[in-house]
Structure 1
Amino acid sequence: MVAHVLRLRLALLLGAFRGDPQKVTRGVVGMVLLAAATAAACWAFLSVQNSSTAAVGAITIFCGAALTLAFALAPIVAAVTDPLDPRRFRVFALPADALAGALALAGLFSVPVLGLIALAVCAAVSWVAAGATVVAAILAVVIGVATCVLFARVALGVAGIIFGDRRSRELSGLLLVTVLVIVVPVGVFLASLDWRGTVPGPLQQVVDVLSYTPIGAAWAFPLLFARGDASGVLALIIALATLAALGGAWLALVRHFLSTIEKPLTTRERGGLGWFSVVPGTPGGAVAARSLVYWLRDRRYLVNTLVIPFAAVATVVPLLIAGVPANVAALVPILFVALFFGWLPHNDLAYDSTAIWMHVASGLRGLPDRVGRLVPILVIAIPVLAIGIPVSVALHGRWAIAPAIVGACASLFFSGLGLSSIASAASPYPVTPPGESPFQQPQRTGSSGAIPQALVMLGALAVSAPSLWWTWLALTRTIEAASLALWAGVATGLVVLVLGVTIGAAVFTRRTGRIMEFAEAS
């Protein structure tokens, strides 16, 4: 049976070169790019073998842990279909233990795994050159590759249980954004470090932690043994325990798939509902899905969202002209981005136009409406801030200021959302009708539109004043103030957000009639 499964796997690999010419071309181009990336990574691993043991360990451990994490996340993010899914073997009445072993072994025969094996061999060469024993290096390669393969198999199995046979494009997009939020800041952090022939302190701290985690232990113990560190035994134990746990999880998944038949999909129409198939089936989830559709498709929302980063970057020019140091000016745009993202939904109810009648007619309470309307801005703003903050700090050049910037941004963003939740229900003002140019503003008398805009923005700044003050102290006087800015900013922002949503929900519930009159009149 094992030989048959392996032959089947090889046939599937060769089948990628037959069929639709465009598909074959994409596959070949992907393999060439992967081979080029693997060759470059192998060269990088081999080029450090003459460096210090610490440098070899830092590079191989960090990269090995990143590869292991990638094998665990890629099957979920990429929404791939497993051609050797255990459920396809139900009709053959095969023993679960033998099938699990055969499928795990077949997982070695894939282009990414072959590239991983090449990288692991190059890492082993560097380990031996740095003083590790050949036995420890070979054992690390076997454990590391097996751990990656089992991580991928378990991830595919879990994804099959959670997401079923279909995963919406929206959910895959969210997962991809999540990975980018993790990868981009880490890449910015590594690129900004000053090596100067030694391992930077921040990177060494990260590597020391990764050495005793399930994703990094297998890549760490050879060099820990080489330098006579007794903790190498602990790393080896963690690596073996991780491998055993993954093997047990994979066996349990195979047994589950062979003995369980999933309920057939009867709600086939959910496949075309987009965001409505992703969010929970609750009133707040329905509001969130409808708001996501508007925010990602309505050009009025899109223009408002796209203008924010450009407007924030433009604030650097007058600061530089005024003589503000460039490293300080680099931190200002991300603060403006956080402020404007929190301020942006202060009038989102008005953009619904007459569609608000669905909320009123269905008896929707204020809390689901307020919470649901905040989901789109959270989905958009959090990745932008998560990527923008490390970039700003890297341009500033001092990573110790990062906690202060995180706290200030959190306070500005969350407090802005809380105040916007009140303003949009208490004082909506006319906006551009649906389908009209987003740059065209309706005529209105008085200053009713300017007042809520100003109150939300000034209120967010006033609430965030303590965090901003401690951030300034961290920049100019003592870096210890950065931790105060972090905790004060996060706490203040979350408190204002919760209070704002609660008050806004009460206002929405009491003013449904007035809100409907506003929608009909505007």
Structure 2
Amino acid sequence: MAAHILRLRVALLFGALRGDRGHVTRMVIGLLVLVGGIAAASWALLSLRDAEADVVLAITVLGGSAVTLGFALAPLIGGAHDPLDPRRFTVLGLGGGRLAAVLAMVGFISIPALSLLVLAVCAAIVWSDHGAPWIASAVGAILGVATCVLLARVCMALGSLFLRHRRSRELSGLFVLVVLVVVIPVGVFLASLEWHGSVPSQLLQAASTLAVTPLGAAWAFPGLIAEGDDSAWMSLLVAVGTIVVLGAMWAWLVHRILTTTERPAPERERGGLGWFGVAPGTPGGAISGRSLMYWFRDRRYIVNVLVIPVAAAITVVPLLIAGVPPEIVALVPVPFAALFLGWLPHNDVAYDSTALWMHVATGVRGWSDRIGRLVPVLLVGLPLLAVAVPVAISLHGRWALLPALAGICLSLFLCGLGLSSIASVVAPYAVSRPGESPFQHPPRIGAGAGLSQGLVMVGSIVLSAPALWWGWIALTRDIDAAMLALWGGLAIGLVVLILGVVIGSFVFERRGGRLMEFAEST
């Protein structure tokens, strides 16, 4: 049976070259481009045989980690049908364990895996020339390729189970957003480095960190052995453990796929449900889907989001006029943006207008309402901060402050979300109605509007005071306080967010009637 599946896999590879003339031409051109790219990458790797060991270690670990991450993300983003889906082989009568093992081995017979194998062999040759035993070089190459192949199989199986009928432009946009959140900060970081003919210390530190993670452990093992580093065995342990965990996950997923029935998508879903097709089929998922539609289509929400970077940038002008050094001023706008992002949903219930009756009439639990409303601002705020923080640090010029700024921003953002979850049900105030101009003021607002806004903002700053203080110490005196600001700010923000959601949920369930009365009267 294993040989039969292998023949089927090889036939599928050659079958891609069959078809009409246009299809065959495109496939041949693509293969030629791929072969050219692999040849260029192999030549670049082999040219490192005369380079310093730390240069080779940084390139192989960082490059290998990026390739491993790509093998994980590509199946989720691409959404292609898996030719090795376990359901296609149920007629062969193989057990779950045997089928998982056979499909894992056959997974090595693919163009991406074979291309990666060529690069891994080149890396092994380079490390052998730098003094690594050939056994260690071969083990590193095999573990690296096996990690990528198993990771691709696991992610493709997860996509088959949970994302098969939820593919939409919204979901693809989320995956692309995740990639951008990773790529843009890394690009800013690399662009800020000063090479001076040698590998920057930041890259060496990043490589040493990745060397003990599942992404880079296998690729780092031969290099650490060549340098006589004691952490080589830790990398080997992590790499082997990763293979074991991925193998167990793959076996479980194969069993799950074989014992569940694939439900075809109804014809009515062909038009797409937008964010409702992406969100889980729960009350909280429905609220998050509706909130996402509002956030990306309602002019009132869009204007609020667009005002944030403008308001944050305005804070730069008076500081520069007052003579504050530009490298210090560069750190100010991002915490302000984090504060405003956390403040945004403080009156979210009012924007529902009379649509709030759906929540009250159907008996939606408070935590479903509170969490569902936070999903849009989290999807907007976290990527924005993930990009803005590295940019601000690159303008400042001292990357050691990155943890401190990240901790401050997380604390302000999460504390704002927690307090907003309470304020939006305790003290909502009138806003412009749906369809009206976002700059149109309602007939009555009342003093509660300013009080609600001020309490959320001031409360976020007060609760984030420890993170702000640790960040100031890291900036002026002791850089070691940067990590304290990161973890302290994250802990404070999470505690306030959880307490805010719990309290807001309780108040929402107790004040449902009054909230409905407020929505009908404004």
Q: Go from structure 1 to structure 2 and tell me whether the alpha carbon gap of 1:80 and 1:443 turns closer, same or farther (over 3 Å shift).
A: same
Equivalents in 2 of 1:201, 1:507: separation in Å?
Answer: 52
Equivalents in 2 of 1:499, 1:213: separation in Å?
Answer: 33
Residues 84-129 of structure 1: per-residue CA shift (max 9 Å, x gap)? 3232232344677886666555544544334423433442343244
Query: Are 1:13 and 2:12 matched, yes or no?
Result: no
Query: Are 1:4 and 2:7 matched, yes or no?
Result: yes
TM-score (normalised: structure 1)? 0.85
Query: Does the 8 A contact of 2:429 with 2:446 survive in 1?
Result: no
Query: Does the 8 A contact of 1:221 with 1:235 survive in 2?
Result: yes
Residues 470-499 of structure 1: per-residue CA shift (max 9 Å, x gap)? 322321232233344334433433333334
Residues 207-244 of structure 1: per-residue CA shift (max 9 Å, x gap)? 33433444333322323333345654664565456546
Q: Go from structure 1 to structure 2 and tell me whether the alpha carbon gap of 1:155 and 1:508 turns closer, same or farther (over 3 Å shift).
A: closer
Equivalents in 2 of 1:58, 1:131: separation in Å?
Answer: 17
Query: Does the 8 A contact of 2:71 with 2:151 survive in 1?
Result: yes
Equivalents in 1 of 2:487, 2:150: separation in Å?
Answer: 39
For residues 72-151 of structure 1, what are the structure 2 equivalents within 5 Å? 72-93=72-93, 103-104=103-104, 106-134=106-134, 136-151=136-151
Other-structure match for 1:288: 288
Say which is worse superposed, 121-130 or 148-157, in terms of deviation: 121-130
Query: Are 1:161 and 2:161 matched, yes or no?
Result: yes
Other-structure match for 1:264: 263
Query: Does the 8 A contact of 1:56 with 1:130 survive in 2?
Result: no
Displacement, 1:353? Answer: 1.6
Query: Does the 8 A contact of 1:31 with 1:111 survive in 2?
Result: no
Equivalents in 1 of 2:248, 2:513: separation in Å?
Answer: 59
Q: Go from structure 1 to structure 2 and tell me whether the alpha carbon gap of 1:50 and 1:314 turns closer, same or farther (over 3 Å shift).
A: farther
* Identity fraction in percent: 54
Query: Does the 8 A contact of 1:327 with 1:396 survive in 2?
Result: yes
Displacement, 1:198? Answer: 4.1
Equivalents in 2 of 1:305, 1:234: separation in Å?
Answer: 46
Displacement, 1:185? Answer: 3.1
Other-structure match for 1:301: 301
Q: Go from structure 1 to structure 2 and tell me whether the alpha carbon gap of 1:437 and 1:85 turns closer, same or farther (over 3 Å shift).
A: same
Other-structure match for 1:376: 376
User: 1:393 is paired with a residue of what secondary structure?
Assistant: helix
Equivalents in 2 of 1:206, 1:115: separation in Å?
Answer: 26
Query: Does the 8 A contact of 1:108 with 1:114 survive in 2?
Result: yes
Say which is worse superposed, 401-410 or 340-349, in terms of deviation: 401-410
Equivalents in 1 of 2:237, 2:514: separation in Å?
Answer: 66
Other-structure match for 2:486: 486
Equivalents in 2 of 1:149, 1:277: separation in Å?
Answer: 30
Equivalents in 1 of 2:278, 2:80: separation in Å?
Answer: 18
Equivalents in 2 of 1:515, 1:24: separation in Å?
Answer: 64
Other-structure match for 1:497: 497
Other-structure match for 1:386: 386
Say which is worse superposed, 360-369 or 372-381, in terms of deviation: 360-369
Equivalents in 2 of 1:435, 1:394: separation in Å?
Answer: 41
Equivalents in 2 of 1:513, 1:125: separation in Å?
Answer: 72
Say which is worse superposed, 330-339 or 491-500, in terms of deviation: 491-500
Q: Go from structure 1 to structure 2 and tell me whether the alpha carbon gap of 1:112 and 1:507 turns closer, same or farther (over 3 Å shift).
A: same
Q: Go from structure 1 to structure 2 and tell me whether the alpha carbon gap of 1:42 and 1:330 turns closer, same or farther (over 3 Å shift).
A: farther
- How many residues of Structure 1 are paired with residues of Structure 2 in the alignment? 518
What amino acid sits opposite 1:88 in the alignment? R
Displacement, 1:137? Answer: 3.6
User: 1:479 is paired with a residue of what secondary structure?
Assistant: coil
Equivalents in 2 of 1:247, 1:500: separation in Å?
Answer: 40
Other-structure match for 1:427: 427
Q: Go from structure 1 to structure 2 and tell me whether the alpha carbon gap of 1:433 and 1:92 turns closer, same or farther (over 3 Å shift).
A: same
Q: Go from structure 1 to structure 2 and tell me whether the alpha carbon gap of 1:360 and 1:474 turns closer, same or farther (over 3 Å shift).
A: same
Equivalents in 1 of 2:254, 2:365: separation in Å?
Answer: 45
Other-structure match for 2:457: 457
Equivalents in 1 of 2:140, 2:133: separation in Å?
Answer: 11
Other-structure match for 2:69: 69
Displacement, 1:75? Answer: 1.3
Other-structure match for 1:55: 55
Say which is worse superposed, 284-293 or 262-271, in terms of deviation: 262-271
Q: Go from structure 1 to structure 2 and tell me whether the alpha carbon gap of 1:254 and 1:436 turns closer, same or farther (over 3 Å shift).
A: same
Equivalents in 2 of 1:383, 1:119: separation in Å?
Answer: 33
For residues 390-409 of structure 1, what are the structure 2 equivalents within 5 Å? 390-409=390-409
Q: Go from structure 1 to structure 2 and tell me whether the alpha carbon gap of 1:224 and 1:436 turns closer, same or farther (over 3 Å shift).
A: same
Equivalents in 1 of 2:379, 2:296: separation in Å?
Answer: 11
What amino acid sits opposite 1:67 in the alignment? V
Say which is worse superposed, 245-254 or 108-117, in terms of deviation: 245-254
Q: Which runs of 5+ in 1 are unaligned?
A: none
Displacement, 1:34? Answer: 6.0
Q: Go from structure 1 to structure 2 and tell me whether the alpha carbon gap of 1:222 and 1:411 turns closer, same or farther (over 3 Å shift).
A: closer
User: 1:80 is paired with a residue of what secondary structure?
Assistant: coil
Query: Does the 8 A contact of 1:42 with 1:119 survive in 2?
Result: yes
Query: Does the 8 A contact of 1:5 with 1:106 survive in 2?
Result: no
Displacement, 1:246? Answer: 4.6
Displacement, 1:43? Answer: 5.6
Equivalents in 1 of 2:339, 2:498: separation in Å?
Answer: 17
Q: Which runs of 5+ in 2 are unaligned?
A: none
Equivalents in 2 of 1:197, 1:385: separation in Å?
Answer: 32
